[in-house]
Amino acid sequence: MRWMGCGAMVLGLLAATPAMAADDRDYCPERPGLGTPACIVSPGRVSVETALADWTLDRSAGDRTDIVLIGDTLVRVGLTDTVEAQIGWTPYGSVRERSGGSVDRAGRVGDVTLGIKASLASPDGKGLSIAVLPFVTLPVGRMPVGAGDWGAGLVVPVTYDLNDSVNLQFTPEVDAAVDQDGNGRHVAVSGIAGLGLALSRAVTLTVEGEVLRDDDPSGKTVQGLASLSLAWMANDDLQLDSGAVAGLTRDAPDVELYVGISRRF
């Protein structure tokens, strides 16, 4: 309950932040895809970014795990020209595990993530754009959807426009990730490289690859992932998206499929 209280306090502070005059900055949601853009939400504006449905399949040695997340949402609030606050929450997740002839199911609430993203260069995301995003995860949810303990991390997104149609993206991250047993933390590091292609003024195709090393005490793993996502900007403040992620290594999940929506207010 104390974590819920902290979240409520933060939401209250954000709601009380006085609105500032919005600039003419293009809308730049953090979804879809694996990486994180370096752009900042315009001051006084709010971006609500939701995965309407997200399904992940992981098969190993005859076992199968299906994870479905519903309504996984990130809220971004522009505080200044170069700083935004973030609150993320998974309201519901379902995990189905099949091993041999037995099947286990669990439906849970997920954890809350709080973060602050600060721009170091080009907060509008144009040209060379760089930001830092420290975050903390609060154990509001329950395992296996929730992690079971608090975690933290740092993301340093970098993007660069080669021209009006091609954008290079790089997202390094280091985490104090929660141990698999839900008690304690360990180091996990990852790097994501991507290429964004503007197919038209409204449609963007993004191709990405990720390498993740996780030093969990139960066993170190290295995951390789490939991602393809498509975003359609329906208007200046509304984006619809879909995407697919494929596992390239033994430790990685086999496939992930999702659809989502982002709206700026």
Find the CATH number of the domain harbouring 207. 2.40.160.40
- Helix/strand/coil (H/E/C) assignment for every residue in 248-262: CCCCCCCEEEEEEEE
pLDDT of residue 226: 98
E strand or H helix at 16: helix 2-16
Residue 137 near residue 121 (C-beta atoms within 8 A): no
Report the Cα 233 to chain-centroid distance in Å: 19
pLDDT of residue 24: 74
What's the number of domains the chain is made of? 1
- Ranges in the chain, pLDDT < 50: 1-22
Domain containing residue 116: 2-264
Residue given tokens 């997920």 in the structure block: 110
The residues, ordered by sequence, that sit 6+ positions from 140 with a Cβ below 8 Å of its Cβ are 3, 4, 7, 89, 109, 110, 111, 112, 146
Residue 91 near residue 71 (C-beta atoms within 8 A): yes
pLDDT of residue 9: 41
pLDDT of residue 76: 98
pLDDT of residue 23: 59
